[in-house]
Structure 1
Amino acid sequence: MSIATVTHINLRGEARAALEFYQSVFGGNLVALTYRDANAVQNPDEADHIMWGEVTSPEGFQIMAFDVPSSREWDQGKESYFVSVRGKDADEVTRYWEGLSAQATIKQPLGPAAWGPLYGMLTDQFGVTWVLDVTAEYSPA
């Protein structure tokens, strides 16, 4: 079993451009799932915004990004990133979730998501927002 921690940046309407830029710098594969792709459109103007995206390179570079929907408060200086814990084993990810959940504010309960078998988000007792998920295979965009 193994996990990876990944920087996950939060933007509004610029996630695709950011991911494309990082791919141009570091190379690798870009995967981008829009709100439309996930059948999760809340605002038609944001249907093609990125709900989940990442760039990974063979050299080990990895970054994730998404567009915070307008239905959620967003300030680039506040919650501009998440710490993402990604693994392949649901029991392992669940164990980390349970540990981090102590005195945490649950933002999204751990459960199935459109892009993977398990996903959850919480803000821990120190104000750090974590996203944990079980990875799935994706095709490059």
Structure 2
Amino acid sequence: MATINVYLNFNGNCKEVFEFYKEIFHGEFIDLNYYKEMPQMENMPPLPEEFSEKIMHVSLKVGENSILMGSDVIPGMSDPLQVGNNFSISVNCNSKDEADSYFNALSQGGKVVMPLGETFWGAYFGMLNDKFGISWMFNVPLK
């Protein structure tokens, strides 16, 4: 069965926010990746230099079963961030078939932001906004 966590987006202060949450929840970072680690992707403009040290992805383990995740939003690479719409529901699936099933059902009447596919960080991953405007992310670790 899949697990569901919250994914938060920020306008450049993700590291500061997650250091704060780490201290409050006495958690530990599972992942901490910067945009400078991301390879240049086809059909995408080069990453602005000022974003190289911004957070591409962070995972903070909170308690036994919860993970709080986040990233900094790069203007032009996604919808503009507004406080109130700066979160996604992240679903970690056990198989590609499970991810495909949920993804295909939730995308009906919605908008696929990033189709499910294998990524450079070793996951089968995709993003969508459902017909109610809720942002979803699906992840299957391939490692």
TM-score, normalising length from structure 2? 0.85
Question: Residue 60 of structure 2 corresponds to which residue in structure 1?
Answer: 55
State the one-letter code of the partner of 2:16: A
Unaligned runs of 5+ in 2: 41-45
* Residues in 2 aligned to 1:102 and 1:75: alpha-carbon distance in whole angstroms: 24
The aligned residue for residue 108 of structure 2 is: 102
Q: Does the 8 A contact of 1:119 with 1:133 survive in 2? A: yes
- Alignment match, 1:42: 47
Question: What residue is the counterpart of 2:43 in the other structure?
Answer: none
Which residue does the alignment assign to 1:71?
76
Further displaced range: 26-35 or 69-78: 69-78
* Shift in Å, 1:78: 5.0
Is residue 83 of structure 1 aligned with residue 82 of structure 2?
Answer: no
- What is the CA–CA distance in structure 2 between the aligned matches of 1:71 and 1:87, rounded to whole Å? 29
In the alignment, is the contact (CA less than 8 A) between 2:5 and 2:89 conserved in 1? Answer: yes
Gaps of 5+ in 1: none
How far 1:114 sits from its partner (Å)? 2.5
- Which residue does the alignment assign to 2:32? 32
Give, in angstroms, the shift of residue 51 of structure 1. 1.0
- How many pairs are equivalent? 136
Structure 1: which 4+ aligned runs deviate by more than 3 Å?
none
Which sits farther off after the overlay, 107-116 or 70-79?
A: 70-79
| Separation (CA, whole Å) in 2 of partners of 1:90 and 1:35 | 26
SS class of match (2:89):
strand
Residues 11 and 81, structure 2, Cα contact 8 Å, conserved in 1: no
Please provide the CA RMSD for this pair: 1.8
After superposition, the C-alpha distances for 1:42-88 in whole angstroms (9 at most, x for unaligned) are 11110111111110134333211000002244232352111111123
CA distance in 2: counterparts of 1:48 and 1:3, whole angstroms = 32
